[in-house]
Amino acid sequence: MEHLPVEVIGNILSRLGGARDVVIASATCRKWREACRKHLHTLAFNSNDWPAYHDITPRRLEILITQTIFQTTGLQGLSILMDDVAEFSASTVIAWLMYTRETLRRLFYNVRTSPNVNILDICGRQKLEMLALAHNSITGVEPNFQRFPCLKSLSLSHVSISALDLNLLLTACPKLESLELINPEIAMSDAQVTVELSSPTLKSIYVEAISLDKFMLEADSIERLHLRDCALELFELIGKGTLKHFKIDDVSVIHLDIGETVDDLEVVDVSNFTIIWPKFYQMISRSSKLRKLRLWDVAFDDEDEVVDLETIAVCFPQLNHLSLSYELRDGVMHYGLQGSSKLENVTVLELGWTVINDLFSHWVEELLRRCPNLKKMIIFGVVSEAKSHEECQILANFTSCMVQLMRKYMHVEVQFEYE
C-alpha cells in the first residue's frame, strides 16, 4: 500500500462515500492524510449514514462538517443531506459553498437553514454540471446573473418555486439535458395552475407528484419523458419528433398530447392509467421502431374497447419486449386473440394477472404460440392470503397447464413472481 501514488489513494477515499469513513481512513498514515487533503474529489454528509448525526448538537455538527470540508482542496462532488437532523446557520452553510464552489461539478443539497440560502446566487456562473436541491425555496431567478453555463442535470425535490421562475431557471441553463421535478410547490399568480417550460437542449424529463391544470413543455431534443403519480388536465409536449422513451405511471390526465411526429419511439410503458385506446393507438401507431411495449393495469375509457394482438404484431414489427396484464371484463379479454400474425422479434414476454381465471392459461398459451423466437417469459401474479377452494383449484389448474406448456417450449426460460 505504501507504494500507491497519492493520487490513487485520493480516488480510493473518494469512493468511500460517507464523510465519516473518509475521515477514519485518512487517519491511516501521513500519506493518506495528504491524499485526503489534496486529492479527495468527492465528499458526502448524509444523516442516514451514521445514527450519531442525530445525537450531535447542530452547532457541534456544523463545526465537524466545516473542519472536514476546509481540510480539502479541490472537491468536485459535495453531498449534504441533513434535512432531518437540525436547522443550520445560513452563514455556516454559505461558507461551505463559497469555499468549494470554484471546483464543484456536482452538488446534492438538502439542508434546512435560517434564513434560506440562495444556492443560485452562490453557485451561479461556476462550473457546476449537476445540481440536486431538496426542501428548498427559489425566488426571483435572474437568468443573466444566476447563470449555470455548464449545468447538464437539475433535480428539484419538494422545492418551492413559481412557474415563471422555473422557466427562467431552465433559460439560465443553456446546456441542460436532464430535469427532475418531484413534488414541487408551484406558486401561481392566478387561479389557473399552468406551467410552461422551454429548453432546446433538454433530453430527459421526470415529473412526479405534481398537480396542475396545464403543463406545456417545449423541447426540441427530448428523448425521454416519464410522468408518475400526477394529476393534470392537459399535458402537451411540443418537439421535433425526437422522443424515444415514453413512460406514464399512475397519472390522471384529461388531454395528453406528445406530438404528432413520434416515429422514433422505442419504448412505451403505460401502467395504472385510463386510456382512450383509439386516440392512444393513433398517437403511437406510426412508431414502427418500437422495441418495448408495456400496458399494465390499464383501464379503457370505453367498456367495448379491446387491444388485439393482431394490431400490435402488424404495427410494431421490431417489438422485442412485450408486457401485458390480463383482465377479463364481461367475458371479453382486453387483449384479444383475433388474427394470426406472429410477433417474430419478441424475445421477452411479461404477463400478469390481478384476478386469475381458467382463461388465463389459454391466453398465455396463445401468446407463446404467437412468439416463435421467445427466449424468456415472466409471469406476475397476485395471490391473496385467504382463498376459497375454487380459487385454489384455478391456481392448481394454471400450474398444471404451465408445466405442460414448458414441456412443449423447452427453449423458453420461465420465471414466476407472486405478490
- 8 A C-beta contact, residue 69 and residue 94: no
Residue entry with cell 398459451: 365
What's the gap between Cα 186 and its chain centre?
20
Helix, strand, coil fractions of the chain, as percent rounded to 5: 25, 30, 40
Amino acid at 148: F
- Note every long-range contact of 244-253, with CB atoms under 8 Å and residues 24 or more positions apart, other chains counting: 245/269, 246/284, 248/273, 249/273, 251/227, 253/227
Query: C-alpha grid cell for residue 411?
Result: 427453449
Least Cα distance to 40 among 89, 65, 3, 6 occurs for 6
- pLDDT tens string for the chain (419 positions)? 778 899 999 999 999 979 999 999 988 889 999 999 999 999 999 988 888 888 888 899 999 999 999 999 999 999 999 988 878 999 999 999 999 999 999 999 999 998 899 999 999 999 999 999 999 999 989 998 899 999 999 999 999 999 999 999 999 999 999 999 999 998 776 666 889 999 999 999 999 999 999 999 999 999 999 999 999 999 999 999 899 999 999 999 889 898 877 889 999 999 998 877 777 777 888 888 999 999 998 877 766 566 778 888 888 999 999 999 887 665 556 566 777 889 999 999 999 987 787 788 888 898 999 999 999 999 998 887 767 888 888 888 888 998 998 899 999 999 999 88
Amino acid at 5: P
Least Cα distance to 58 among 88, 83, 95 occurs for 88
Instruction: Count Cβ atoms below 10 Å from residue 390 Cβ, excluding itself.
Output: 8
Q: What is the 3-state secondary structure (H, E, C) of 324-340?
A: EEECEECCEECEECCCC
DSSP-derived 3-state class of residue 279: helix
pTM here? Answer: 0.91
Bridge partner list, 215: 195, 235
Consecutive H or E run containing 313: helix 309-315
- 33 within 8 A of 9, measured Cβ to Cβ: no
Q: What's the confidence (pLDDT) of residue 327?
A: 75
Show the CA angle centred on residue 253, arms to residues 312 and 239, nearest 5°: 70
